[in-house]
Amino acid sequence: MKHIVILGSTGSIGVSALEVLAGYSDRFKVCALTAATKDEPFAEQIAAFRPNVAAMSDENAASRLKNRPQVGDTTIYSGVEGLVQAATLDQADLVISAIVGAAGLVPTLAAIQAGKNVALANKEPMVMAGQLMQQEARAHGVTIFPVDSEHSALFQSMQGHRKEDIRRIILTCSGGPFRTCTREDMRHKTKAEALNHPNWEMGSKITIDSATLMNKGLEVIEAHWLFDIPASNIEVIIHPQSIIHSMVEYNDGSIIAQMGIPDMKIPIAYALSYPEHIPLDLPRCDLLKEGPLSFEAPDTERFPCLALAYRALQAGGTMPAVLNAANEVAVQGFLDDTISFLDIEGVIEGTMDAHLKTNLDTLEDALSADRWARDHAGNMVNDGAAAEVTMRRAGHA
Ligand SMILES: NC(=O)c1ccc[n+]([C@@H]2O[C@H](COP(=O)([O-])OP(=O)(O)OC[C@H]3O[C@@H](n4cnc5c(N)ncnc54)[C@H](OP(=O)(O)O)[C@@H]3O)[C@@H](O)[C@H]2O)c1
């Protein structure tokens, strides 16, 4: 029996993970779950899976949860310390890291330092502090299994091959809901339009990241740290059908790809059951019905967030953590209707331009870069400075 912790069980990935686990109760036992604020669905999950521990980062939500009859004899913890207690539980064998954003860094790193294998969906900690996470994983003998569909595809396409034979990795990208839009079209895009992803059902933050292509930028940085591949050998290709989830090209010109329907249960199940491919009750990918598979080059003039992510990766040190935090603040500003869609890139670029990069060697280095960038980006969101950066960019273009 493999004992599983899910950090972020009420989210899109968390719910899909529980669906997979529910089908294999003879192989997996859920020992801890965490959430932030949604105590009602969380209580239902606790009633259904009976974990030993449940933790909520929000203290008020945790207090409400304690009074719900569904919790039974599950021990309830709260705050960031509560998340860490869940992530480092003695009996845990594998921690599914599925919190959204930088908030996942502390519990995910704690899981690694406690020697727990990690199934990583929460890409932002890897973007912020990839070197540190990998150093700690090596020091504690931990395997980090990718859950992001692209990284799972790369991981699968590397099985049985030698790392030194890899020429480049190719991350596929649906292009998001604004793939064919001009900059002028994008200027007026609403929250509802940006949240309407053509292929994937996901949480709101990653859906906006998919519309700006920042999600692909974050994935480039994540791939760099997960697979130890230099930025110059990581390419992005637009593939609107989301059937090929990513590819690895080898020195002899062979390209190995992983394909399937776009459903996160597939990479989640592989991370849980590696090296086995456990059966899943999902529609099959019928290539005869899919129609032509097509490919396009990404356009970083229309989608500058992708170029900003490469810039952050090449700069190194604290810059990726700054990119990530500025993006989180900007996306929230857009979701709150405070800034426009195109202002997201302005907040990120303006914050990166203002940052004096330093080395990132410790968790505190990552957290302090994150705090600085949130502060700077927050001021840009509130005083309208993002629009100036975006307009300056338009003047240059
Ligand atoms: N969704 C996908 O298909 C997909 C695919 C690939 C990678 N990912 C990555 O997986 C991660 C999760 O994405 P998602 O779409 O599942 O997000 P989501 O639906 O927004 O869920 C986020 C989860 O994190 C919890 N959470 C939010 N803020 C928190 C905080 N400050 N402290 C602790 N917990 C917090 C939420 O709890 P409450 O519900 O209580 O707020 C929820 O359980 C992201 O990093 C994303 O990039 C997602």
Whether residue 137 contacts residue 108, with contact meaning beta carbons closer than 8 Å, is answered with no
CATH at 42: 3.40.50.720
User: Is the Cβ atom of 124 under 6 angstroms away from ligand 1?
Assistant: yes
Question: What domain range includes position 130?
Answer: 2-142
User: Is the Cβ atom of 16 under 6 angstroms away from ligand 1?
Assistant: no
pLDDT digits (tens, 9 = 90+) for 315-343: 999 999 999 999 999 999 999 999 999 99
Q: Is residue 361 part of a domain?
A: no
Residues in the chain: 397
Whether residue 296 contacts residue 337, with contact meaning beta carbons closer than 8 Å, is answered with no
Whether residue 124 contacts residue 101, with contact meaning beta carbons closer than 8 Å, is answered with yes
User: Is the Cβ atom of 335 under 6 angstroms away from ligand 1?
Assistant: no
Question: What per-residue confidence (pLDDT) applies to 388?
Answer: 73
The total number of structural domains in the chain stands at 1
Whether residue 343 contacts residue 390, with contact meaning beta carbons closer than 8 Å, is answered with yes
Q: Whose CA is nearest to atom 34 of ligand 1?
A: 36
User: Is the Cβ atom of 244 under 6 angstroms away from ligand 1?
Assistant: no
Query: pTM here?
Result: 0.97
Ligand 1 geometric centre to CA of 100 (Å): 3
Q: Is residue 148 part of a domain?
A: no
Q: Is residue 104 part of a domain?
A: yes
Q: Is residue 30 part of a domain?
A: yes
Ligand 1 geometric centre to CA of 97 (Å): 9
- What percentage of the chain carries pLDDT values higher than 70? 99
pLDDT digits (tens, 9 = 90+) for 188-236: 999 999 999 888 789 999 999 999 999 999 999 999 999 999 999 999 9
User: Is the Cβ atom of 13 under 6 angstroms away from ligand 1?
Assistant: yes
Count of Cβ atoms closer than 10 Å to residue 300 Cβ: 16
Residue 396 has pLDDT above 60, yes or no: no
Count of Cβ atoms closer than 10 Å to residue 126 Cβ: 31
Q: Is residue 379 part of a domain?
A: no
Ligand 1 geometric centre to CA of 396 (Å): 36
Cα–Cα separations (whole angstroms), residue 310 to 153, 288, 289, 314, 394: 21, 36, 36, 6, 20
User: Is the Cβ atom of 12 under 6 angstroms away from ligand 1?
Assistant: yes
Q: Which is the closest atom of ligand 1 to the Cα of 205?
A: 20
Average pLDDT, rounded, for the chain: 96
Q: Whose CA is nearest to atom 13 of ligand 1?
A: 100
Closest by CA to 240, choosing from 287, 274, 200, 183, is 200
Q: Which is the closest atom of ligand 1 to the Cα of 149?
A: 6
User: Is the Cβ atom of 265 under 6 angstroms away from ligand 1?
Assistant: no
Question: What per-residue confidence (pLDDT) applies to 140?
Answer: 98
Question: What per-residue confidence (pLDDT) applies to 292?
Answer: 94
Residue 118 φ then ψ, to 5°: -125, 135
Q: Average pLDDT of 136-140?
A: 98
Q: Whose CA is nearest to atom 8 of ligand 1?
A: 121
User: Is the Cβ atom of 174 under 6 angstroms away from ligand 1?
Assistant: no
Q: Is residue 77 part of a domain?
A: yes
Q: Whose CA is nearest to atom 45 of ligand 1?
A: 122
Residue 177 has pLDDT above 60, yes or no: yes
User: Is the Cβ atom of 264 under 6 angstroms away from ligand 1?
Assistant: yes
Q: Token pair for residue 318?
A: 């604290």
Q: Is residue 81 part of a domain?
A: yes
Q: Token pair for residue 345?
A: 């890139």
Question: What per-residue confidence (pLDDT) applies to 395?
Answer: 64
Band (pLDDT 50/70/90 cuts) for residue 10 is very high
- Cα separation of 151 and 337, whole Å? 32
275 cis-preceded (ω within 30 degrees of 0) = yes
Ligand 1 geometric centre to CA of 167 (Å): 33
Q: Is residue 319 part of a domain?
A: no
Question: What per-residue confidence (pLDDT) applies to 397?
Answer: 45
Q: Average pLDDT of 250-265?
A: 97
